[in-house]
Structure 1
Amino acid sequence: MSVEQASAAADAAQVEAVVHAMWEALSARDWDALKTYLSADCIYLDMPVGPTAAARGPDDIVKRLKIGLEPLASYQNFPGLMVSNGVDVMYEHHEEWQWATGESAVLKFVSVHRVDGGLITLWKDYWDMGALANHAPPSWLADFANADMSWVFDATGLV
């Protein structure tokens, strides 16, 4: 292996470690730790709803994530395949959501992250919203509609 190849492999491993650590913090719902992996201008978006309902920056990203995850009785991320080119990471994984009312859902994701300078600068989640809507309690969408939406950022043209 050449010096360049070794350096690229080390960079890719470092990028993957950042993404793994961020997901471990999210799985623990450790919001303060999660923020430390996100750049000040990081953009997060759920691809099923598109770029007009993105969040930007660690504080707003956490506000956005809390809407769905904080009310859950149990939430866990299960790691899967991770592929990296040294900057961009594709991460296939699944989450298990359980509500206090007894409903549960298994959600399969592909998340795409861009890491620059040791921080995540872009985070896009691809998943099936119908899988969540079909298993969530009836109040789930109403709770989401009544949530603090101050985090909404239009990332059209940026992602």
Structure 2
Amino acid sequence: MKPPDERVALVEAFCEAWSGPDWERIEALLAAEILYLNGPLPPLRGHAAVMNYLQSAGPFDAVRWDILHIARRGDTVLTERVDRMWMDGRTVALPIMGAFRLENGLIAEWRDYFDLASYRAQQTAVD
């Protein structure tokens, strides 16, 4: 059996930090000049811009990211996951493909691909 892969473990820790969410842990795993490409939304660069966006999303009563599959090639870790967000007793479940490029033990680039229409429809059903 192969030893645990540090790069995969870092992305798993990032995904686990969303249960809470643990904002300090999330921020600590992002490179200072992080580039965040969130589906069809405008790209964000840097700790301040990314953290401001992440903390303003919602409001959610709870969040959990369920990793279905995870793989690595070089410095990029890919995740197939379902991001679950609870609001007012209802659940929004969003299938996502994520790509995390790591540099110096931190997430330097984070790209998520998802169906924005599905997210908006589920969120509207919650409102």
TM range (shorter): 0.7 to 0.9
1:83 pairs with one of 61, 71, 76: 71
Gaps in structure 1 of 5+ consecutive residues:
1-8, 141-159
For 1:21 and 1:59, locate their aligned partners in 2 and report how far apart those are by CA, in whole Å: 21
Cα deviations by residue, 1:101-153 (Å, 9 ceiling, x for unpaired): x443110000001011110100000011111111113797xxxxxxxxxxxxx
2:51 pairs with one of 59, 62, 79: 62
**Counterpart for residue 145 of structure 1:** none
Counterpart of 1:67, as a letter, is S
Shift of 1:74: 1.9
For 1:122 and 1:35, locate their aligned partners in 2 and report how far apart those are by CA, in whole Å: 13
TM-score w.r.t. length of structure 2: 0.88
Cα contact 2:36–2:111 (8 A) shared by 1? yes
Q: Which has the higher helix share?
A: 1
**Counterpart for residue 122 of structure 1:** 109
Higher CA-based Rg: 1
Shift of 1:80: 1.6
Q: Which has the higher strand share?
A: 2
Cα deviations by residue, 1:25-84 (Å, 9 ceiling, x for unpaired): 1232111111111111111121222xxx22222232111112224x11121111220110
Aligned identity (percent) is 24
Give yes or no for the alignment of 1:15 onto 2:10: no
Gaps in structure 2 of 5+ consecutive residues:
none
TM-score w.r.t. length of structure 1: 0.71
Counterpart of 1:126, as a letter, is Y
Shift of 1:85: 1.0
Q: How does 1:41-52 map to 2 (within 5 A)?
A: 41-49=33-41
Cα contact 1:103–1:135 (8 A) shared by 2? no
Cα contact 1:39–1:119 (8 A) shared by 2? yes
For 1:22 and 1:31, locate their aligned partners in 2 and report how far apart those are by CA, in whole Å: 10
Equivalences, count: 126
Cα contact 2:68–2:79 (8 A) shared by 1? yes
1:113 pairs with one of 96, 100, 114: 100
For 1:115 and 1:98, locate their aligned partners in 2 and report how far apart those are by CA, in whole Å: 29
Give yes or no for the alignment of 1:95 onto 2:87: no
